[in-house]
């Protein structure tokens, strides 16, 4: 009897102990929370603050996160700064790279370990401008806008040609933008037949698939200089223009209002900056979310002006003055406050430290090219199918979007190396 009594006692103790452990585990499990328990808008806000590489990794965590990142709401909540991408040009005009190299400017190592391909059949095209993670590409020869693509998803659409297209004998200036009011992306082209005959045409993505969907807006009031890159900011595209009858040389097009306007330059700009031959030395950009002008008309230094309050002439402020820099244009402000500069038609970038007043030169290695384009844009995982709609253009996909297939001329990883620039090279930097 004593044996059975001790046996039953030990058994009951084990059962009670197991029940206590099970109850504690259930209680702890009930109190545990994970990121999946957070509201959707908070998760999207957290993900939108990440740079490109962590976002790519986050897509692989679960299907829910992948859906969050692919949601159109994600791009409008994106708090991260625009990323830097480089596209290199090869030594022959018949071979233009279709690979975009992502350069990590946040960590300071400036290596490019991520690559995205532009559509394969459009390898001889140039980048017009970026908008909300989409790129507009144009033909190298006539600058006619041809496709809109998302290099991250690999999707692209072909823009139909306008009816009675006269671009075989005239110049075209293209631009790409977004209207937040209508939630439409639009492609603009200015057909510059003569100095007195300038036609503006607009194509809205997702409205029609025929060439008749190009709408004529009438005559463009000013003629942008086609050789300079347009600058896109908050639904408005900007160019330098050549018009002796006006005191302004910045022409802009508002994609929401679908109208042209002029933006006043800094009040100190005189006839020297407004001469046609000097307009090629006036480069525009976006620094810290503001429109900027880089004045390179002086041979000893460059001045970078920033428009603190848009369209207010008195808000122009000379933010940087850099000595012995050469022909360059500002690309972006990096996290530590340095200004990233691009040398025109050279294999290199530079970082200007406004505190120490010094320049660090960054040479592009493994590019195998003679020139390059530097593009800043916020990468987006939004599908072009959501942009064009059901009855819109046919969305195609380039399967090699993450560069799984190695290109023979770009098998190595592109990266930037800091170096000292010889004085003799500094002299050549003034060659456009």
Question: For all residues of the chain together, what is the average pLDDT?
Answer: 72
Cα distance between residue 359 and residue 250, in whole Å: 29
Name, of 175-189, 238-252, 270-284, 333-347, the range with top average pLDDT. 175-189
Mean pLDDT of 178-192: 88
pLDDT of 228 reads 62
Task: Name beta bridge partners: 172.
Answer: 191
Between 402 and 116, the more confident residue is 116
> If we measure between CA atoms, which residue out of 120, 80, 112 comes closest to residue 372?
112
pLDDT of 93 reads 47
Segment holding 170, helix H or strand E: none
Q: Token pair of 260, please? A: 């042209």
Q: Does residue 135 contact residue 122 with C-beta atoms inside 8 Å? A: no
Classify burial at 164, counting beta carbons within 10 Å of its beta carbon; exposed 0-12, middle 13-18, buried 19 or more. exposed
pLDDT of 140 reads 63
| Alpha-carbon radius of gyration of the chain | 27
Least-confidence region, from 17-21, 35-39, 125-129, 150-154: 17-21
pLDDT of 258 reads 93
pLDDT band for position 109 (cuts 50, 70, 90): low
The alpha helices in 324-415, defined as continuous H runs, are 384-388
Mean pLDDT of 18-39: 62
pLDDT digits 0-9 by tens, 117-139? 666 665 567 788 888 888 888 87
pLDDT of 257 reads 93
pLDDT band for position 49 (cuts 50, 70, 90): confident
Contacts 24+ apart (CB under 8 A), 14-18: none
Strand order in the sheet with 250-254: 231-233, 236-240, 250-254, 259-263
Least-confidence region, from 3-17, 67-81, 261-275: 3-17
Mean pLDDT of 417-429: 47
Q: Does residue 372 contact residue 366 with C-beta atoms inside 8 Å? A: no
pLDDT digits 0-9 by tens, 247-258? 667 889 999 999
Q: Does residue 282 contact residue 273 with C-beta atoms inside 8 Å? A: yes
DSSP notation for 249-314: -EEEEETTTTEEEEE---TT--HHHHSHHHHTTEEEEEETTEEEEEE--SSSEEEEEEESSTT-GG
pLDDT of 406 reads 36
In percent, the amount of the chain with pLDDT more than 70 equals 58
Name, of 104-113, 173-182, 191-200, 421-430, the range with top average pLDDT. 173-182
Between 27 and 232, the more confident residue is 232
Examine the pLDDT at 408 and tell me if it is beyond 50: no
pLDDT of 371 reads 63
pLDDT of 186 reads 94
pLDDT band for position 387 (cuts 50, 70, 90): confident
pLDDT of 328 reads 75
pLDDT of 166 reads 55
Examine the pLDDT at 370 and tell me if it is beyond 80: no
Cα distance between residue 382 and residue 149, in whole Å: 11
226: three-class secondary structure by DSSP: coil
Examine the pLDDT at 427 and tell me if it is beyond 50: no
Rounded to the nearest 10°, the torsion over CA 281, 285, 290, 294 is -20
DSSP state of 108: S
Segment holding 8, helix H or strand E: helix 2-31
pLDDT digits 0-9 by tens, 150-182? 888 888 888 888 776 654 556 778 899 999 888
Q: How far is CA 248 from the centre of its chain?
A: 27
pLDDT band for position 196 (cuts 50, 70, 90): low
> If we measure between CA atoms, which residue out of 153, 104, 146 comes closest to residue 121?
146
């Amino acid at each position: 009897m004593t044996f059975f009594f001790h046996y039953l006692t030990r058994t009951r103790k084990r059962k009670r102990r197991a029940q206590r452990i099970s109850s504690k585990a259930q209680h702890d499990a009930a109190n545990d929370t994970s990121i999946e328990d957070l509201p959707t808008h908070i998760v999207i806000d957290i993900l939108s603050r990440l740079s490109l590489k962590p976002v790519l990794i986050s897509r692989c965590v679960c299907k829910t996160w992948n859906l969050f990142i692919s949601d159109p709401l994600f791009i409008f909540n994106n708090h991260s700064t625009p990323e830097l991408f480089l596209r290199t040009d090869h030594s022959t005009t018949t071979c233009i790279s279709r690979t975009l190299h992502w350069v990590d400017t946040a960590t300071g190592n400036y290596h490019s370990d991520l690559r995205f391909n532009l559509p394969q059949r459009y390898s001889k095209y140039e980048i017009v401008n970026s908008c909300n993670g989409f790129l507009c590409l144009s033909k190298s020869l006539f600058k006619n806008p041809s496709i809109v693509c998302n290099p991250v998803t690999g999707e692209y659409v072909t823009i139909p040609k306008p009816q009675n297209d006269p671009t075989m004998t005239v110049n075209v200036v293209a631009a790409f933008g977004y209207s937040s009011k209508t939630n439409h992306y639009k492609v603009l082209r200015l057909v510059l037949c003569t100095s007195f005959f300038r036609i503006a045409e607009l194509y809205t993505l997702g409205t029609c698939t025929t060439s008749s969907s190009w709408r004529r807006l009438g005559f463009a009031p000013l003629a942008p200089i086609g050789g300079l890159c347009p600058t896109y900011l908050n639904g408005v595209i900007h160019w330098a223009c050549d018009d002796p009858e006006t005191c302004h040389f910045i022409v802009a097009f508002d994609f929401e209002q679908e109208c042209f306007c002029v933006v006043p330059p800094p009040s100190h700009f005189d006839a020297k900056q407004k001469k046609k031959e000097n307009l090629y030395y006036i480069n525009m950009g976006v620094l810290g979310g503001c429109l900027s002008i880089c004045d390179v008309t002086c041979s000893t230094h460059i001045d970078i002006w920033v428009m603190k309050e848009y369209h207010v002439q008195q808000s122009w402020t000379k933010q940087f003055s850099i000595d012995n820099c050469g022909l360059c244009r500002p690309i972006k402000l990096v996290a530590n406050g340095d200004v990233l500069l691009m040398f025109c038609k050279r294999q290199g970038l530079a970082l200007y430290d406004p505190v120490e007043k010094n320049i660090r030169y960054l040479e592009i290695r493994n590019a195998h090219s003679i020139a390059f384009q530097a593009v800043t844009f916020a990468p987006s995982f939004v599908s072009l199918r959501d942009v064009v709609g059901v009855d819109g253009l046919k969305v195609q996909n380039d399967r090699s979007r993450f560069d799984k297939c190695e290109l023979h001329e770009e098998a190595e990883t592109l990266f930037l190396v800091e170096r000292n620039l010889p004085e003799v090279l500094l002299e050549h930097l003034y060659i456009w």
